[in-house]
Structure 1
């Protein structure tokens, strides 16, 4: 499995200053220590699964700067569909976790799954290391790995929040996660430092590196214009090549895809 850690999370997340920066640093440090073994335990262990998980949790946790909903929870007061039947249940069982657990009934159910009394100690779910486990347990219960394997950010988003709230952000941070993981794989494969490896390319990239990629793909039979612009046609050619070579089909040209391209080009 790719050895993800706190550094990987910071590559993906926006940076903050002041109190927000301090909170982010504390959360990322605590989660980073247990990130790899926890993800592995829940079979979130491929580049696509990890990328979607980190991209989505980055949005859910406001750039990894909180493990608790910023609102006070009064909006959930009296929500019987969430099991909030007693006065004060809204604030008491507000959203907590890297994927927010909300409502008395969900705290009770998650507590049973984790063998913890979260119903009587709901604030515990905001502990950074436990907030990761809460997110992973939710991910497992909704079978989100299946959607991540298809690189379906829309389906992943719906499974997490029931709609498409923040879809553009989720796309953006998932793409950043793919780039970070591709760079990390490049270090593992080549033993080189990031600056010594080929640039990781993806949709939206422009320049001579993209033109070189397009020339390579044209040489392999893909009908592409060499214009130095990584658009939809280039992305399609990359995904078709990845599928043919048994690689992760994510449209990102990282170390493994570059290696396969160079081998195919002879």
Structure 2
């Protein structure tokens, strides 16, 4: 199953077939060992992480603007400075809090995917709330608003989901991708690729890039509940490029163990949107495989 990946990584392919599960304590030990505090802080800040990734030549989502203080906000005018479709993200947000998306524009009014209008004053109010730290998720008094062009999903993926943007999570140790899943939005998840909101988590074969198993809140499924598309066996477009990007993210940000979040753009292919310094272990349940054996195959000593 992992022979091609093993050869690509220079690993023992037989050692990658084990099913030992990585527990939370062992995961925390890996983070403590390989993820220094300054790198964790860099990863938590989407702006700082993006700058580090781009400096390393890693393809990321585009940037319209970064607003880091009230003076920059005062000089910003959405009707002049923003495209027809965009995403506003808090630099230090988490769990999708504070993300605002517009899919089209009419005059000085944008519209959400639901059709709800976003007039210019509402957009500015949201930007100000982001910069004031309203979505930072920690004790930071201030934040930065990262404004990006709206990603349009690769057609092969967009036909699977009713709305929203699917994304990939790839867990890596140093330069070695170990496990991956794709998160697929549903109507019930409100078009968001958030597993806690009942998006689909689908495990991916690391050699072929094909979906092997899909679940919603721990319940196995074979077809997308909204579109009816068969998920099992679906091949992720540009899979080798996805692995190549994921293998470079941790070192670029200064992390030894991380999760890279990647989207597939219709024009630009795989793009990194975020790097997570504390990737969760639920991916093992989704893939029905253990991370411990795959990590051990890289030479990591768990003693």
Max Rg structure: 1
TM over 0.5: no
TM-score in terms of structure 1 length: 0.27
Q: Decide which structure has greater strand share.
A: 2
Q: Decide which structure has greater helix share.
A: 1
TM-score in terms of structure 2 length: 0.25
Which is bigger in relative contact order (C-alpha 8 A, separation at least 6)? Answer: 2
